[in-house]
Amino acid sequence: MEPYDEDYEDSPRTDRSVETTVKIAVEWNESAVMGQVTDKVTSLVYDSIREQVGQAVLNCLDAKVNEAIQEVMEREIRPKDRWGDSAGEPVTIRALLQRDVETWLTERVNSRGETSSSRYNDTKLRIHWLFREALDKDLHTQVKKAIKENIGSVEAMIDDEVKAKIAQLIKQR
């Protein structure tokens, strides 16, 4: 603590205020601060454009893949026999796929959908079996749904009928 100064009261200041000076020394590493700022700005920019760039890349890839698939599907190939010799007229892959799908759909199948060579057993074309399976599943689902929806009203009707019969029996006694 400083000793009392007698001249203090004679000083030009009359409000008796105390003047304080604070000096703060800040030391900083400019490259570290700039690195942190750069990292933060980069992160914000990356987050803002990531989705847009990702979608643009996916759209571009999708277009390129579809174009390549179309080109392959329309390319003509010449069928070969097991020795590698040409066997037939050139045909597109699309036409080959169409032919194979038609063959597969018109194969005879048993009741489980398995290929069957027997014409005497209960066989049908695979396309008919597929339609029948789809219809059976759909019908089964709709019947279950209808039963679930109507079971409450059926139970209420049964309860009402039972109550009415019991009331009728009591009145008869």
**Per-residue model confidence as pLDDT tens digits over 79-90:** 888 888 888 888
The answer as to whether 150 is a domain residue is yes
CB 115 within 8 A of CB 121: no
Distance of alpha carbon 157 from alpha carbon 164, whole angstroms: 11
The answer as to whether 89 is a domain residue is no
The answer as to whether 149 is a domain residue is yes
Categorize the per-residue pLDDT at 67 as very low, low, confident or very high, splitting at 50, 70 and 90: very high
CB 94 within 8 A of CB 73: yes
Selected residue with higher pLDDT from 7 and 92 = 92
Kindly tell me if the per-residue pLDDT of 124 is higher than 90. no
Residue corresponding to tokens 């571009």? 60
Helix (H) or strand (E) holding 124: strand 124-125
* Residues 21-61 pLDDT 10s: 766 666 667 777 788 888 888 888 888 888 888 888 899 99
| pLDDT score of 156 | 83
CB 2 within 8 A of CB 8: no
Query: What percentage of the chain's residues is helix, strand, coil (to nearest 5)?
Result: 65, 5, 30
The answer as to whether 115 is a domain residue is no
Instruction: Collapse the DSSP code of 80 into the 3-class scheme (helix H, G, I; strand E, B; otherwise coil) and give the result.
Output: strand
DSSP string, 17-69: -------------HHHHHHHHHHHHHHHHHHHHHHHHHHHHHHHHHHHHHHHH
Kindly tell me if the per-residue pLDDT of 4 is higher than 60. no
The answer as to whether 101 is a domain residue is no
Domain boundary among 59, 74, 89: 74
Domain boundary among 57, 74, 91: 74
DSSP string, 82-105: TTS-B-S--EEHHHHHHHHHHHHH
Selected residue with higher pLDDT from 33 and 141 = 141
Domain span holding position 37? 26-74
Quote the number of domains for the chain.
2
Selected residue with higher pLDDT from 150 and 20 = 150
| pLDDT score of 102 | 92
Distance of alpha carbon 87 from alpha carbon 81, whole angstroms: 6
The answer as to whether 53 is a domain residue is yes
The answer as to whether 111 is a domain residue is no
Nearest to 76 by CA among 67, 89, 64: 89
Domain boundary among 58, 74, 90: 74
CB 124 within 8 A of CB 107: no
The answer as to whether 164 is a domain residue is yes
CB 108 within 8 A of CB 119: yes
User: How large is the average pLDDT for residues 141-167?
Assistant: 85
Q: What is the mean pLDDT of the chain?
A: 81
